[in-house]
Every structure is written in structure tokens, then in C-alpha cells.
Amino acid sequence: AQKITQTQPGMFVQEKEAVTLDCTYDTSDQSYGLFWYKQPSSGEMIFLIYQGSYDEQNATEGRYSLNFQKARKSANLVISASQLGDSAMYFCAMSDNYGGSQGNLIFGKGTKLSVKP
Amino acid sequence: EAGVAQSPRYKIIEKRQSVAFWCNPISGHATLYWYQQILGQGPKLLIQFQNNGVVDDSQLPKDRFSAERLKGVDSTLKIQPAKLEDSAVYLCASSLAGLMLAKNIQYFGAGTRLSVL
């Protein structure tokens, strides 16, 4: 069965510094997708970044980058130049079928990021 | 473009009462998902619709939960009768989810926070 593990319940980072949020996954599928979502206190899950299992380059979206190490089954999120508005819960998720017509997401337990001024 | 709309935002009921949640997905999104997020955990899929048909309801407690997506657009999720352990945030998400899409990004609503007393 697929599984996502986020080992950091909480993280602190100083404003303007970079931070890495850890995510490891377990799957026997060859085709899969990896996602990161942000959940502020308002409750909405906001899509941040996606990495496909066959993508050779690490995904980047603005200040977000995904450090994808397939052999180690890790998909860490790197946030550069942290801002106060980055304070939120961050969830790593995985989909099967490479995001095909099912593409159900399995989520980790999340990491609470707090940005200090 | 309007996002995923959910209502109500908050609901407090007593155990054994019934409750219904409503979701309107992003226009044109064929796939709709309902997730349950218990405090301190990541979201867990309850049911997935493709247009107005159910694709996956394997984790839906069918003795008390029901969901429908008439006309393939908006959807309702019902709990009857509610139990204390149903206290959670219920998130609705939608995606384009075509068979030929390489990635299936799910966009979430703000959720309904249910408290069962």
C-alpha cells in the first residue's frame, strides 16, 4: 500500500531564510505523482508544486522547489526566502496512476511551519 | 476563475442528528472528491465522482454516509446519523482529470468544519 511519511511535526524558520520540509514515500508503482499542498489556518488546501515519477528534473514554482530523490523515495519541499505568510501546515501527497483518471491522493500527517520575524 | 465553493463553513450538531454539506466544483472539472480531515491528520478520501458516476467509494462508511452528484456538477455529502468521531473538516476538491492528462491537480475548497456534540 502507498504511504507518505512526514517526520517533522513542526518547524521554525527565520524570515527570509530557506527551509526544507521532509517527505518520504512508499509505493510499488512505477508511475506516480508527488504533490505539496499548503493549508493556512483558514482551512483551504492550496496546491504548491507537482513532481511526476518520470520527470528527470526537479520541479520548481517560484519560491518553491521539490528535491526529488527517486532512489531514496524522498520528495522534500524547499521554500526559499521565507515570508510571514508562509506560516501554515504543509502536506505532502502522492497519487497513483501518474495522475490518471483516478489519481486519488494519499496525504502525510503534515508539518506545521512557523516563520519568525 | 471561481474556485471550489463549499457550504456551510461551520456546523455544530448533536450525535444521532443528520447533516448535509454542499460543494460546487470549478467550472468544467469532471472529477469531484470528498475528503475527511480529522484534527492533526492529513485528508482521507471518502468518495470520488467522475461526472455523475462514482469511481471510488471504498472508504465511505456507507451505513451512515451518502453522497450524490446529480447532473455531474455540484455535490452533497450527508451523514445520518452522526457520531462523535465524525467531528472533522470535510473538504471538497475537483480536478479536470482526463485520461490523457499527465498530472491530476486537485483544487480544494475551504472545507466545512463539523463538530458533533
Q: Which residue among A45, A47, A95 sits closest to B91, beta carbon to beta carbon?
A: A45
- Please give the average per-residue pLDDT across A14-35, as a whole number: 93
**Are the beta carbons of B112 and B10 closer than 8 angstroms?**
yes
B52 to chain A, closest Cα gap in Å: 14
* pLDDT-derived band at A100, boundaries 50, 70, 90: very low
Alpha-carbon distance B12 to A30, whole Å? 44
- Asked whether the predicted pLDDT for residue B102 surpasses 60, the reply is no
Interface touch A109/B55, C-beta < 8 Å: no
Nearest-Cα distance to chain B for A107, in Å, is 5
As a whole number, mean pLDDT of residues A80-95 equals 96
Give B36's strand partners.
Answer: B44, B90
Write the DSSP symbol of residue B32. Answer: E
pLDDT of B101: 52
| pLDDT average, residue stretch A44-60 | 92
Asked whether residue B16 carries a pLDDT value surpassing 60, the answer given is yes
The full DSSP string for B46-115 is EEEEETTEEEE-TTS-TTTEEEE-GGGS-EEEEESS--GGG-EEEEEEEE---TT-S----EE---EEEE
- Are residues B110 and A44, on separate chains, in Cβ contact within 8 Å? yes
pLDDT digits (tens, 9 = 90+) for B24-80: 999 999 899 999 999 999 999 999 998 888 988 989 999 999 999 988 899 999 999
Put simply, whether A110 touches B (Cβ < 8 Å) is: yes
- How confident is the model over B99-109, as a mean pLDDT? 73
From the list A37, A43, A105, the residue facing B110 with the nearest CB is A43
